[in-house]
Amino acid sequence: MSRPHPAVPPRVDPALRAALEAELDAAVALRHALHRDPRLSGDEADSRDLVLAALADALPPGTTPQPVADTGALLRLGPAPGEGPPAVAVRAELDALPVVERTGLPFSATGGVAHVCGHDVHVAALVAVVRALARVGAARLPAPVLAVFQPREEKAPSGAADVVAEPAFTAHGVGAVLGVHVQPELPRGTVSVRGGPVNASADEIEIEVHGRGGHGGYPHRTRDPVLALAQIVCGVHHVVSRRVDPMTAGVVTVGQVQAGSAPNVVPESASARGTVRALDASRDELLDAVREHVEGTAAAYGCTATLTVVPNEPAVVNDEALARTVATALGGRGAEDRVDGDGVDGEGTPTGLVLDTTFRSCGADDFSHYGDVLPSLMLFVGAAATGTTPGAGPGLHHPEFSPDDAMVGEVARALLASVAAAGAALAPPVTGSNPQPVPDTTPP
């Protein structure tokens, strides 16, 4: 972000805080409804309509949701584009995953689709924030706010890529985009904010090895594609250890292998599918190295191989200046930032959450597409079960993963404080003021 940042971002308006706390019970009920009846990527219209119905009675007269990316919706609060400072957009994902849930929750999904990535929590938290902002009125808004209820985060074609390309989004004069994700790799009660890469790029790869089939008792007459593929799968992981700087992060995973029709027949071909992820490593160089390994190993076994890359998401790269501003706001400034009377915050922070500035992972998210065109920031809120080691329990996409209901409030408070900080950073500087740069809280 090019604007100067206040050294101490303003605290969240107490009226906004109170309004948000008043919305959390209804937000938890909405979370249950979304969780109980989830929708896959591209089929989110019912979830979108449920969200808009939950917002309808709180919106100012004349506020009309806009469709976006087929099954998504945009909702703006505050002055019209061009009549105020740039807007702060906040993204939440509508879709679920093709997983049979095993959480045992009373509001558990019963089919083959489940919210096991926390999207229901994100959406419910954003609804609480939007309702709170709408209740206090335009005069108290920290900035114009554009809520983005986005489809198709989990499956291509990317909903985020479609959103940023649509005039319905670009017309809003957005100056910054915020996103949030629950994260079981982080301790409960933490919120992580840092600049730079925080999620990896993710591309799918398809490997096809062709040889000469034949009888299993006469292997010398064949050119065995199964053996060649086995060596490719074992060796491709060494591409990272020997072709990528050990001070950077990249990972190759082969998750699917297919070959043959009988135990005594050498088949004509064998195939595998996987992913290649790059956080700091060069995405293109890593893919090139994988291709060299696939083709060279196949040739060593008298076979040929092709590598097909299915491009997916680029890395999520948080804007450095926006990260510093939001981290300063979320880190708190003393007793005046305590949240009293609601059982949260014993640390003098505006959210009750402890600030972390180190976390990042080789997970992927299509939120990256917002960062390609605008300053963007992905927050992570700790979701490890209380008393457990982060990462030891069911993780994202696991059939038993489900954050508890209190996380709706934790995510909502983090979003509200972040909106206030981003809005202050985007506001025109006061005449005669001399804002100081924010100290850099991001590790080198």
Q: What is the CA radius of gyration of the chain?
A: 24
Residue 433 lies inside a defined structural domain of this protein: no
Q: Which of 264, 288, 311 is at the close of a domain?
A: 311
For residue 233, tell me if it sits in a domain: yes
Taking alpha carbons only, the member of 166, 2, 181, 170 closest to residue 87 is: 170
Rounded CA-CA distance 184/165 in Å is 32
| Whole-angstrom distance, CA of residue 412 vs CA of residue 371 | 22
Residues 6+ apart with CB under 8 A from 266: 211, 212, 213, 214, 215, 216, 219, 222, 224, 225, 226
Among 294, 311, 328, the domain boundary falls at 311
CB-based contacts of 75, cutoff 8 Å, min separation 6: 52, 55, 59, 63, 65, 66, 130, 146, 147, 149
Backbone CA torsion sign across 420, 421, 425, 431: positive
Q: Distance between CA atoms of 13 and 249, rounded to whole angstroms?
A: 40
Give the per-residue pLDDT at 381.
98
Q: What residues are paired with 114 via a beta bridge?
A: 97
Range of the domain at 264: 201-311
Question: What is residue 1's predicted lDDT score, i.e. its pLDDT?
Answer: 53
Two structure tokens written together for 149:
């209820």
CA distance readout (Å), 316 to 153, 194, 276, 375: 13, 11, 15, 11
pLDDT recorded at residue 4: 41
Per-residue confidence (pLDDT) for residue 431, from 0 to 100? 53
Q: Which amino acid is at 278?
A: A
Tens-place pLDDT, residues 287-331: 999 999 999 999 999 999 999 999 999 999 999 999 999 999 998
Last residue of a domain, one of 311, 333, 350: 311
What CATH number should be reported for the domain holding residue 249?
A: 3.30.70.360
Entry field: residues in the chain: 444
Six token digits for residue 443:
């590790």
Structure tokens at 123: 């959406």
Query: Which backbone phi and psi does 53 adopt, to 5 degrees?
Result: -65, -35
Question: Is there a domain that residue 434 lies in?
Answer: no
Beta bridge partners of 88: 145, 176
Token couple for 64: 């009309």
- Per-residue model confidence as pLDDT tens digits over 414-438: 999 999 999 999 987 655 544 444 4
Same domain, 195 and 205: no
The verdict on residue 148 lying in a domain is: yes
> How many structural domains compose the chain?
2
Asked if residue 436 is part of any domain, the answer here is: no
> What's the rounded Cα separation, in Å, for the pair 383 and 390?
8
d(CA 231, CA 235): 6
**Is residue 341 domain-shared with residue 330, that is, in the same domain?**
yes
Whether residue 144 is found in the same domain as residue 18: yes
Is 292 part of any domain? yes
**9, part of any domain:** no
pLDDT of residue 430: 55
Packing angle of the helix pair 14-36, 406-426 (nearest 10 deg): 130
| Residue 263 and residue 274 share a domain | yes
CATH number where 398 lies: 3.40.630.10
pLDDT at residue 339, as a whole number: 41
pLDDT, position 341? 35
Query: What are the residue ranges in the chain where pLDDT is below 70?
Result: 1-10, 332-349, 429-444
Q: CA-to-CA distance for 73 and 159, rounded, in angstroms?
A: 11
Shared-domain flag, residues 31 and 136 = yes
Q: Looking at the structure, do residues 225 and 278 belong to the same domain, yes or no?
A: yes
| pLDDT at residue number 346 | 38
Sign of the dihedral through C-alpha 335, 337, 339, 343: negative
Tell me: do 258 and 366 sit in the same domain.
no
Whether residue 338 sits in one domain with residue 250: no
Residues 407 and 351 occupy one common structural domain: yes
What is the reported pLDDT for 331? Answer: 86
Q: How many CB atoms lie within 10 A of CB 293?
A: 23
Residues 189 and 335 in one domain: yes
Does 320 share its domain with 290?
no
Residue 294 lies in a domain: yes
pLDDT for res 8: 53
pTM for the predicted model, two decimal places: 0.89
**Residue by residue, what is the 3-state secondary structure of the chain?**
CCCCCCCCCCCCCHHHHHHHHHHHHHHHHHHHHHHHCCCECCCCHHHHHHHHHHHHHHCCCCCCCEEECCCEEEEEECCCCCCCCCEEEEEEECCEECCCCCCCCCCCCCCCCECCCCHHHHHHHHHHHHHHHHHHCHHHCCCCEEEEEECCCCCCCCHHHHHHHCHHHHCCCEEEEEEEEEECCCCCCEEECCCEEEECEEEEEEEEEECECEECCCHHHCECHHHHHHHHHHHHHHHHHHHCCCCCCEEEEEEEEEECCCCCEECCEEEEEEEEEECCCCHHHHHHHHHHHHHHHHHHCCCEEEEEEEEEECCEEECHHHHHHHHHHHHCCCHHHCCCCCCCCCCCCCCCCEEECCCCCCCCCCCHHHHCCCCEEEEEEECCCCCCCCCCCCCCCCCCCCCCCHHHHHHHHHHHHHHHHHHHHHCCCCCCCCCCCCCCCCCC
Instruction: Examine the domain organization and report whether 91 and 41 are in the same domain.
Output: yes
Task: Write down the pLDDT at residue 9.
Answer: 53
